[in-house]
Amino acid sequence: MNDQASTLRSMVSQRDAGTHNNMRVIAVGSGKGGVGKTSFVVNLAIALSELNYRVIVLDGDLGLANVDVVFGMTAKYSIRHLLSGEKRIEDILCPVKRGIKVLPGASGMFELANLDRGQLKNVLVNLGRLEKMADVLLIDTGAGLGHTVLNFLCASDEVIVITTPEPPAMADAYGLLKSLKGQQEQLNLKIVINRIHHESEAEICFEKLEHAAKKFLGLRVNLLGWIYDDPLMGKSIMEQYPLGLANPESLAYKYIQWIAGNVTGMDQRPPSSSGGIRKLIFSILKN
């Protein structure tokens, strides 16, 4: 099977990864847990690194941090050490895979999930020191609508809201959009539909969100892409090894590579969802 990212790589093969003028800050939110947000962030980081982008992932779920775990790593230091003044931000950066670095949260630290504005400002000021170290800062925000989550989302250049077709997930995605509207008028909002079974399902879900956001909130949202349901994603999570590394030819990762291309402005057609024998294997594994 052709590598979905091969065309994109050829378009950027001559580009020096350090030539971006400013680090782009992209925050990913969901409104609820269980929609695959962290796995999406981790694999998007891998796909962007394949395109020669230098990526830092901030685990913005500060009280239930798990980005490093998804990468199969255990961080020695965390945001807690930054806030206490024990470590500099450069000291807590955790190298993972493909040149990607993670700024870990601190699992189980309730107080970190409820930072006051002064503490959050301290984190954001420190993040400014990473400007020359990365092209993209991906923030994996926590679930829910807490003020730390909303502050991270509103402070970002771009916001990706990820949801699934299930009605509760869609309702929570709309709730997140509504909360963001109340915080800030101008937002660059993108939607990703995860765990779909056919393209029309993604289109219907997006149309519903788009209509509700425009009619009731006066918000404009754009469809960034969709990801097919893939049993290999669940397998990679259980094994604590990202899908983009364990099974880079998998159906879900092909679509994450496509989304990475959309993030970088390389407008591409969606990859084919027909997988021949792979599709047959996926169907068997689902049962």
Check residue 13 and give its pLDDT. 42
pTM: 0.85
Q: Is 38 marked as a binding-site residue?
A: yes
Q: Is 244 marked as a binding-site residue?
A: no
Q: Is 39 marked as a binding-site residue?
A: yes
Q: Is 37 marked as a binding-site residue?
A: yes
Check residue 11 and give its pLDDT. 38
Of the listed ranges 23-32, 81-90, 159-168, 228-237, the least confidently predicted one is 81-90
Q: What DSSP assignment string belongs to 117-175?
A: HHHHHHHHHHHGGGTTT-SEEEEEEPSS--HHHHHHHHTSSEEEEEE-SSHHHHHHHHH
Instruction: State yes or no: pLDDT of 111 exceeds 70.
Output: no
Instruction: State yes or no: pLDDT of 168 exceeds 60.
Output: yes
Rounded Cα distance between 119 and 114, Å, is: 10
Rounded Cα distance between 70 and 236, Å, is: 9
Q: Is 36 marked as a binding-site residue?
A: yes
Domains of the chain are: 21-286 (3.40.50.300)
Q: Is 34 marked as a binding-site residue?
A: yes
Of the listed ranges 1-5, 41-45, 91-95, the least confidently predicted one is 1-5
Instruction: State yes or no: pLDDT of 52 exceeds 90.
Output: yes
Percent of the chain with pLDDT over 90: 50
| Cβ pair 71, 96 in contact under 8 A | yes
Beta bridge partners of 196: 228
| Cβ pair 37, 30 in contact under 8 A | yes
pLDDT-derived band of residue 180, with 50, 70 and 90 as boundaries? Answer: very high
The pLDDT mean for the chain works out to 83
Check residue 10 and give its pLDDT. 44
Mean pLDDT of 181-193: 86
Q: Is 218 marked as a binding-site residue?
A: no
Instruction: State yes or no: pLDDT of 16 exceeds 50.
Output: no
